[in-house]
Homo-oligomer: A and B are copies of this chain.
Amino acid sequence: MSDDLTPRARRLRDAGHKLTHARLTVLAALEDSGGHITSSEVLERVNLVDHTIGRASVFRTLDLLTSLSIIRPTYLHSSMTPTYVLLPDGHHHHFICTRCNRVIEFDDCGLAQIETDLEARLHVKLTGHLLEFYGLCERCAAESTFTPSTTESAS
């Protein structure tokens, strides 16, 4: 009856899942992090709080949260582990520099209309979206202009 649940915990329960200690701990770890956190980092944070929580449960929880569109795995660089971002209001947007891997997040996306159209057209029920742009950040764009080939200036 006590209703001191975080909004995301409530969504978990409303979807018919138990609010277990492991799940709530993973969720807290994600919320405490600044976003773009890997599974290993989640695992590390979780085990700082309670080292008895197993790896498998962390991965299972990440899967579960993803299936509920509470988080979303995204790729930053290198063919490795995804980093997870929260989808605060169902969406997340960022720019990734493909040269230095800098990430710039931004809030407004103007996708509301597109979302509505798409639901009607594909007959789907949307719960979230991720929009990512890639290219060169201001600094890297400038450096690329100067350097025909090899001038990796260590900044």
Chain A residues with CB under 8 Å of chain B are 16, 39, 59, 62-63, 65-69, 71-75, 77-79, 82, 84, 95, 97-99, 104, 106, 109-111, 114-115, 118, 122-138, 141, 148-149
Contacts and interface: CB of A to CB of B under 8 A. Distances in A.
Nearest to A138: B123
Contacts of A123: 137-138
A109 B99 CA distance: 25
A63 B77 contact: yes
Contacts of A114: 109-110
Pairs A-B, 7 closest by C-beta atoms: A66-B78, A126-B135, A123-B138, A73-B75, A127-B135, A125-B141, A129-B133
A92 to B, nearest CB: 10
B95 A69 contact: no
A59 B75 contact: no
Contacts of A74: 75
Contacts of A67: 77-78, 98-99
Given A73-B75, A127-B135, A128-B134, 11 more contacts: A16-B149, A59-B79, A62-B78, A66-B77, A68-B98, A72-B134, A78-B82, A95-B122, A104-B122, A124-B141, A130-B130
29 contacts: A16-B149, A39-B79, A62-B78, A63-B77, A66-B77, A66-B98, A67-B77, A68-B98, A69-B135, A72-B134, A79-B82, A95-B124, A95-B126, A97-B124, A98-B127, A104-B122, A104-B124, A106-B122, A110-B114, A111-B131, A122-B138, A123-B138, A124-B133, A126-B133, A127-B136, A128-B133, A128-B135, A130-B130, A130-B131
